[in-house]
Amino acid sequence: MAKASELVTLTAAQMADKLKKGDISSRELVEAELQTIDSAEPTLQAFLARSSEEALAVADDIDTRRAKGEELPSLAGVPVAVKDMIVTKGIETTAASKILEGWIPPYDATVVTRMKNTGMPILGKTNLDEFAQGSSTENSAFHNTYNPWDITRVPGGSGGGSATSVASFETPLALGTDTGGSIRQPAAFTGTVGVKPTYGRVSRYGAIAMASSMDQIGPCARTVEDAAMLYDVIAGYDDHDSTSIREILPSMTAAALQGKNQDLKGLRVGIIKEATGDGFEEEVKNNFSEGIKLLQNMGANVEEVSFRHFLHGIQVYYVVMPAEVSSNLARYDGMRYGLRVMPPADVPQTAANMMAYTREAGFGAEVKRRIILGTYALSAGKYEEWYGKAQRVRTVMIQDFNKAFKDFDVLVCPTAPTSAFKIGEVEDPATMYRNDIATIPANLAGLPAISIPSGLDHNNLPVGFQILAAQKNDELMFRVASALETAFNKKWGAPLWAQLKTPWLDSLSEE
């Protein structure tokens, strides 16, 4: 019997392989992850809810079917965690907000249905900034999540729970949602891989809406291949989502495998000039340059390209996103589900007062800030000046990207301007918002983008390298990311994730 710590440090691809060969069972795997979760959670607090019994039941079912010789999908029996922004039938789903505390969804998100059909045991729901609004997971209404590389620091956000759970070996895979960087920035902060697919490639049905024109669900993993395998499970047309793209998808797993063994001769790489200058830490830029050298060594032609509006993305985002947030979050009114707070006895017991008291008690400060901002931007008289103008700049940004993708196959830049900061260190919202300066443009333009680790800084903290491709060219993005990951690993002698110190694994018993 393998030791739990040996099982959980396998990649998802290795787990899949061992399951297929019959070397391990899914029950062993799930039990090992549950032990790791028990041991790590007091320190890291990546999870909001656990579904251990359900996970074990799925594992047993898969083990039985496999024993009977049934042909199963590759990830059958491989566990996964789900950001608590995605609804799971029968498992409490809160979006890390008091307003949804205790809510048990009556249905599954399409991505969850797909994972269940694949036979993936779901370990639980991961922590996030309330309604995915934030860059540090400090806005969760319930508790912080701690960065496994340094527990005095944030894991990034909003998907800090998913990123931490994957980095710390509590799960090989997790789902995130990315509206402005919430998969990629936490991946950068935790030394993991995070993917935002092309808008429309993954169904948003059952993803709690934040800003619908930008929201996308995507995979969190330790390797590019693992992320690709999960992508292949969750992506595809869904008639429950009106923005879903109707097309047959190529295999991202095949693209990732191809990338491992291929050079990049002739690949045209554009460095986004605006995302490598002021405001980006020296060490982030140095790590990024190392990645560029590796791309060049593999035969890529690398050139700088300037985007006049790249840095305006943040201004556009902080008008468009709150506008959509204010409208999407109007449904939390105490009427249909979630929290209801009645006004005190001396206040008229009207529906409007009930809504006001419910929303006052149920939403945190950041969510309220955005609802107010968004309502203002959409108000009569201000609409053209704010929302209309922001949408026009968004269109120009999209045109700039379209133009750039005529000259370049992929665009690259650091994922975030800094490495993980200390808990409580960033106090003003505007500084917090700047974290996403390099990730937001992909959401505004609907592009696929991935963050992979590009090394450690002098504090031993991970830094991320971002690759963007043209819409619906996720396949190329995976191929290039996989090639670069392979080159980085060769240079380091081991993947970055394998260098993390994991005291919570040392105490695990033999299976």
Compute the least distance from the CB of residue 44 to ligand GLN, in Å. 20
The conformation of residue 3, written as its DSSP 8-state character, comes to B
Query: How many residues line the site for ligand GLN (CB under 6 A)?
Result: 15
Q: Rounded to an integer, what is the distance from CA 330 to the centroid of its chain?
A: 25
Angle of CA points 137, 207, 372, to nearest 5°: 60
Query: Which segment (60-68, 173-181, 250-258, 485-493) binds ligand GLN by CB under 6 A?
Result: 173-181
Compute the least distance from the CB of residue 321 to ligand GLN, in Å. 6
- Range 269-328, binding ligand GLN (CB under 6 A): 321
**Listed residue (437, 482, 142) closest to 295, CA to CA:** 482
Nearer CB in complex with ligand GLN: 36/127: 127
Compute the least distance from the CB of residue 154 to ligand GLN, in Å. 12
**Listed residue (103, 96, 105) closest to 127, CA to CA:** 96
Nearer CB in complex with ligand GLN: 200/259: 200
Q: Calculate the alpha carbon distances from 441 to 297, 314, 414, 461 in Å.
A: 28, 8, 13, 25
Residue 133 is a binding residue for ligand GLN (CB under 6 A): yes
Do residues 184 and 135 touch, judged by C-beta distance below 8 A? no
Nearer CB in complex with ligand GLN: 225/436: 436
Nearer CB in complex with ligand GLN: 157/414: 157
How many helices (H) and strands (E) the chain has is answered by 19, 11
Nearer CB in complex with ligand GLN: 177/244: 177
Q: Calculate the alpha carbon distances from 264 to 292, 414, 449 in Å.
A: 12, 20, 18
As given in the structure block, the two tokens for residue 50 are 């656990």
Q: Calculate the alpha carbon distances from 442 to 20, 364, 415 in Å.
A: 37, 27, 11
Residue 158 is a binding residue for ligand GLN (CB under 6 A): yes
- Which of 180, 194, 259, 464 is the binder for ligand GLN (CB under 6 A)? 180
Token look-up 């097309």 returns: 247
Residue 179 is a binding residue for ligand GLN (CB under 6 A): yes
- Which of 134, 191, 236, 313 is the binder for ligand GLN (CB under 6 A)? 134
Do residues 305 and 270 touch, judged by C-beta distance below 8 A? yes
Q: Exposed (0-12), middle (13-18) or buried (19+): which is 434, by Cβ within 10 Å?
A: middle
Compute the least distance from the CB of residue 485 to ligand GLN, in Å. 23
Do residues 2 and 28 touch, judged by C-beta distance below 8 A? yes
Residue 400 is a binding residue for ligand GLN (CB under 6 A): no
Query: Which segment (35-43, 126-134, 278-286, 486-494) binds ligand GLN by CB under 6 A?
Result: 126-134
Nearer CB in complex with ligand GLN: 18/201: 201
- Which of 181, 206, 291, 446 is the binder for ligand GLN (CB under 6 A)? 181
User: What character string, x for contact with ligand GLN (CB under 6 A) and - otherwise, covers 405-444?
Assistant: -------------------------------x--------
Token look-up 């700049």 returns: 393
Do residues 109 and 121 touch, judged by C-beta distance below 8 A? no
Backbone angles phi, psi at 289, to 5 degrees: -60, -35
- Which of 31, 130, 178, 225 is the binder for ligand GLN (CB under 6 A)? 178
Compute the least distance from the CB of residue 225 to ligand GLN, in Å. 24
- Which of 80, 100, 132, 397 is the binder for ligand GLN (CB under 6 A)? 132
As given in the structure block, the two tokens for residue 249 are 């998808």
| Residues annotated as part of the active site | 83, 158, 182
Q: Which residues bind ligand GLN (CB under 6 A)?
A: 132-135, 157-158, 177-182, 210, 321, 436
